[in-house]
A and B are shown apart, each in its own frame.
Chain A
Amino acid sequence: MLEFLKNKSINTPADYAKIFKEIKLIKHQFTPINIAILSSYTSEILKPYISVELAKKNYFSDIYFAPFNQFEQEILNDNSDLYLQKPNIVIIHNMIEDMYPNLASNFTKYDDEELDLITNQVIDRFRVILKSLRSNSKASIIVINFSMINIDMLDSVYSPTKQRQDQYIHNINQELLLLCNKINGCYSIDYMNIVLNIGLQNWIDRKLYFMARIPFAVKGQIEFSKMIAKTIGTIKNQACKCLVLDLDNTLWGGVIGEDGMSGIQLSEYYPGNVFKNFQRSILNLRNQGVMLAIASKNNFNDAIEVIQKHPDCIIKESDFAAIQINWVDKALNIEKIAKKLNIGLDSIVFFDDNPEERLWVSRKLPQVKVINVPKDPMLYSQSLASCNYFNFLTVTNEDKNRTKMIQESQNREELRDNSKDLNSFLASLNMIVSISFANNKTLERVSQLINKTNQFNLTTKRYSVVEVADLIESGSIVLYLSVEDCFGNHGISGVSIIKQRNENEWVIDTFLLSCRIIGKRIESVFLAEIINIVKNKNAVKLYGQYIESKKNHLTANFYKEHHFVLSDKNNNIWEYNMQKIPEKIHYIKTEVKS
């Protein structure tokens, strides 16, 4: 960082404007970088913030702001100003409420299937522009994800809607991330996370929003710009490969040479848990590919004994790629580590609680990145997380489970690409369909499906939770189905209600599947089990009805395809000959739970 930017407090818009002015006068001292920002709002207001934050990383940025809400025109036209500017970095920031205003103002009117359609449309728009951008330019692409919809007219809406909306934004962000991961040199910034960190209530400045459609207040503008600069810094920088750690008062509290094994702080309880937690953070880095090394002034045997034998020392000797525990100068030790690991000094990060050691190392080896370690060990993990030296752009902020889900659905798509024959694809999924009788615990979800499913729904009859309970009470069979395949569990995703007409005649009153699972012959398996279940109840006749709706054409021939015979043309009622044995789908395992 240039000397004049160090130790300067830059917090307010006026501070940024002032520093921005100064930077422009000495721009030749920085590495130039061309940035283009395409957004659905007036993003020019970010210019001083992004410029100053990048200057702190020694970049002078020339930023092109495309006219707002013109991202498609700019990207798809290969003669646009965007490409004339020859950007190194292209940032795309669209508000979901700008792309689909109704999502904010009229969310309740959409059912889940329509929301899925909107997701597909949004993602398709992104897919088209990202592919076009990728083929027209070599720039790194940064896609900003969506945040909670932040106009407060929603506050008055009852909270399940808000939750549903939040969940929806999560889902669409997940799809966006999946897409970004497929495009070379495309990174995503978790904008939603920044919003949540600052808080939705503080995020928006109503005056700015309503008068200028600026979606965030000053604080948010600054935080967002910092995130952009950080991401650009990481894209441009060769990420560091190795973290060199001190031991005493770093990996544990206290000094092993003085306090001994039982005296040092390292446990599940305060203050030892602070250090154990820091060890976890370090192990996380290791799991993400960062090499670990030790440079410590200690008696080798004392120190190594802690790592080998202390029950709460969760970092093991084998986690370290290089260990230098001796009384030699740390700069020399770091040079040895670099040599052993065959990496440059510039890809080493040094973490030591002792400010003198830090100063010494940064003087002797200026290429080494020295972390300005806070005095309070509770802040160690944070200082490591925010140091920007390691590249985690490919590992997102999403929690582990989510990453797993993404992998699952990626795998699923890859499989589809690879399988020419649908049956062999379906067989490779190893589907297990469980059919169960609805009970109190599942009524809620069952009724939800009954009320929201439109496409694969033969009668589109709607029943509340209470009505479903009454049906069960009065002897109807209410079944639900859940599906698991090699990638994960889809949960409850099908419902059928079979009513008894008289002694030995039954009618399929409701038969529906969630659209996520159709097209896999699961419906055939479900129907076959229904036939078996009523057969066991001594049914002689089973009827099924199709009631046409605007959306359920998909199922018009369902009974016909499953060997039912039309028995009442006016009411579209079909009859099944109970002597027949339903077709078995060999690649789907079925289990019926009582």
Chain B
Amino acid sequence: MINFNQLKRIMSDILEVSLDNINEDSSPDNIEQWDSLSHIKLVMAIEAEFEVKLSPEDMTDMLSVKLIKIILEQKIS
């Protein structure tokens, strides 16, 4: 299991939105700051924090917090 709070904190820091505004359904559609550049920043931050390597496919699939969680859990297990 990944630490969901840790993921939320990273998202909040990188996207510069408050922690309360991040939930499983958060996505580029409902968080204005989550643009393509932030997406890359997120990927770099998540890779370093969870010590995983994300593939280009993972990057394109990471379309919401929920999906990021699923992808990370697959990697870590």
Residues on A facing B (Cβ under 8 Å): 12-14, 17-18, 21, 42, 44-45, 207-208, 210-212, 214, 218
Contacts and interface: CB of A to CB of B under 8 A. Distances in A.
Nearest to B36: A212
Given A21-B13, A45-B40, A12 B56 contact: no
B55 interface: yes
Nearest to A12: B48
B10 A14 contact: yes
A207 B55 contact: yes
Given A14-B13, A42-B37, A45-B40, A207 B56 contact: yes
A27 to B, nearest CB: 14
B40 to A, nearest CB: 5
A235 B13 CA distance: 31
A14 B41 CA distance: 9
Given A14-B10, A14-B14, A212 B40 contact: yes
Interface in B13-40: 13-14, 16, 37, 40
B45 A211 contact: no
B34 to A, nearest CB: 14
A18 B49 contact: no
B40 A12 contact: no
A212 B40 CA distance: 8
A399 B44 CA distance: 35
Given A207-B43, A208-B40, 17 more contacts: A13-B14, A13-B45, A13-B48, A14-B9, A14-B13, A17-B13, A44-B37, A45-B37, A207-B54, A207-B55, A207-B59, A210-B56, A211-B59, A212-B40, A218-B44, A218-B47, A218-B48
Contacts of A13: 14, 41, 44-45, 48-49
Contacts of B10: 14, 17
Interface in B35-77: 37, 40-41, 43-45, 47-49, 54-56, 59
29 contacts: A12-B45, A13-B41, A13-B45, A13-B48, A14-B10, A14-B14, A14-B45, A14-B48, A14-B49, A17-B10, A17-B13, A17-B14, A17-B41, A18-B13, A21-B13, A21-B16, A44-B37, A45-B40, A45-B41, A207-B43, A207-B54, A207-B56, A208-B40, A208-B44, A210-B56, A211-B56, A211-B59, A214-B40, A218-B44
A44 B59 CA distance: 19
A45 B34 CA distance: 14
A210 B37 CA distance: 14
Nearest to A17: B13
B45 A17 contact: yes
A45 B47 CA distance: 15
Chain A CB within 10 Å, residue with most, of B10, B40, B56:
B40
Contacts of A44: 37
A17 B12 CA distance: 9
Chain B CB within 10 Å, residue with most, of A12, A45, A207, A210:
A207
A293 B49 CA distance: 46
Contacts of A17: 10, 13-14, 16, 41, 45
A214 B59 CA distance: 15
B41 to A, nearest CB: 6
A13 B47 CA distance: 9
Contacts of A214: 40
Nearest to A24: B16
Nearest to A45: B41
B49 A12 contact: yes
A207 B44 CA distance: 10
B48 to A, nearest CB: 4
Contacts of A12: 45, 48-49
A562 to B, nearest CB: 64
Contacts of B9: 14, 18
A214 B36 CA distance: 13
Chain A CB within 10 Å, residue with most, of B41, B47, B56:
B41
A212 B55 CA distance: 13
Contacts of A210: 56
